[in-house]
Amino acid sequence: MVDRRRMLMLVGQGVSSVGDGMWFTIWVIYLTRVIGFPVVEVGIVTVVGGIAGIVLSYPCGMAADRFGARSTFVFLVAVRSVAMLAFCFVTDFVGLLVVAVCFMGTQSGAAGVRTSMVYRMFDEPDRLAVLAQTRVVQHIAYAVGAGLGAVILAADQFYYAALVLNAFTFAVLAVLSMALPRDTPPQAKPRARGALRDPSYVAVMLTTAIPALCWAMLSTGIPLWILSRTAAPGWLSAVIVLNSSVVIACLQVPVTARASSVRWSGRAAALAAVLLAVSCLLFASAAGFGTGLAVAVLVLAGLVNVAGELYFVAARWGLALGLMDGRHAGRYQGVAAATEALVMAVGPGIVAAAVTAPGISGWLVLAGVFTATAAATPPLVSWARRSRSTSDAVR
């Protein structure tokens, strides 16, 4: 028998991800060429929106603990739906800034609230499976949405229709989420430190968020590197992205199924960082080869990179859920979302600076960062496990 709750979540996330894929394909062209905002203003808005996402993640988690994760998630998705429609009507920089903060600022918060909603709605054996299946559906739907976005760009029209359609997909997600059972937040005020007063948890989340740079590598670093420093054709970056999506769709669920313990998740987080460090060295080495060998090395580097991403995502879920105090699920997931949002906000700039640095020095620095992350993760996870055990014993 199909679990109705799981089906509602997967269908809703799939529908909204089609809209997301379409939007992320066209948004720069829409804002700069269709509406006419200068690139500098769009860049400022993007940075401010990213900062808003970091700042708002924890308050969104607090709201989930206070009002329930499902209700908070529905509200945040509704805000994003209205904000997407508002993009159709912005005519000045201040208006664009306000709309972008509402749209981008609630994105990370909604992701954290969704994780806490899964935590409260499903039993322990099913939580990671639901999160992994959701990510698989997201990747497939993103690809469909990106295809629609490519059609819009090729036709150079239907931009407003695309925005309305994306707003509608958010509305569908909100309606389907409302059909989920309402979770009941703790009524009594528990005697607990809370997420921001749990230094071991914050330290683990900050450290294990660093491999989120893999997404900036995929979207920013690899295309720049291939075009400027290798003999490989520019279209190879699209092949690497496609390979990544296929691998994630096939393997994210079985890899995540192993993240049932904090111990395994800690090792997987360290392994993810090591794999990403190796991928940096492989990408760097491609600069010294002819076209054929460069293509082979770059494809291999892309596969190592996505292997790191698979373990990183699974480990983050395992650690974020396994090390938290379930009485404050929203707050703890708000911290997890905020740390990841921080890396995602600064990631493109860091990676762009790395790949445009002299020679292969930038890739070596990135590899060093990932290696240091791998070394720091096990002792931090051990500290967090001891802290969690002590806190549970005191209750």
**111-121 confidence digits (pLDDT tens):** 999 999 999 99
DSSP for residue 183: P
Share of the chain above pLDDT 70, in %: 95
Selection from 189, 193, 182, 162 nearest residue 323 by Cα = 193
Selected residue with higher pLDDT from 241 and 82? 82
> Which residues are CB-neighbours of 145 under 8 A, at least 6 positions away?
17, 18, 19, 20, 21, 22, 23, 24, 25
Whether 194 has a pLDDT exceeding 80, the answer reads: no
Share of the chain above pLDDT 90, in %: 81
The per-residue pLDDT for 187 is 55
Query: What integer is the mean pLDDT of 247-261?
Result: 93
Q: Are 146 and 20 in contact (CB under 8 A)?
A: no
The per-residue pLDDT for 388 is 77
The per-residue pLDDT for 1 is 44
The per-residue pLDDT for 175 is 97
Q: How far apart are CA 243 and CA 74, in angstroms?
A: 33
Whether 360 has a pLDDT exceeding 80, the answer reads: yes
Average pLDDT, the chain: 92
> Which residues are CB-neighbours of 254 under 8 A, at least 6 positions away?
none
The per-residue pLDDT for 391 is 60
Distance, CA of 198 to chain centre: 23
Whether 140 has a pLDDT exceeding 60, the answer reads: yes
The per-residue pLDDT for 202 is 96
Whether 191 has a pLDDT exceeding 50, the answer reads: no
DSSP for residue 232: S
The per-residue pLDDT for 144 is 92
Q: How far apart are CA 55 and CA 41, in angstroms?
A: 21
Selected residue with higher pLDDT from 235 and 164? 164
Q: How far apart are CA 239 and CA 247, in angstroms?
A: 12
Query: What integer is the mean pLDDT of 42-57?
Result: 93
Selection from 210, 193, 226, 212 nearest residue 331 by Cα = 193
In the chain, what is the greatest distance between 2 CA atoms, to the nearest angstrom?
Answer: 66
Query: Quick check: pTM over 0.85?
Result: yes
Q: How far apart are CA 18 and CA 146, in angstroms?
A: 8
Whether 242 has a pLDDT exceeding 90, the answer reads: no
The per-residue pLDDT for 395 is 46
> Which of 22-26, 192-196, 209-213, 364-368 is least confident?
192-196
The per-residue pLDDT for 389 is 72
Whether 10 has a pLDDT exceeding 80, the answer reads: yes
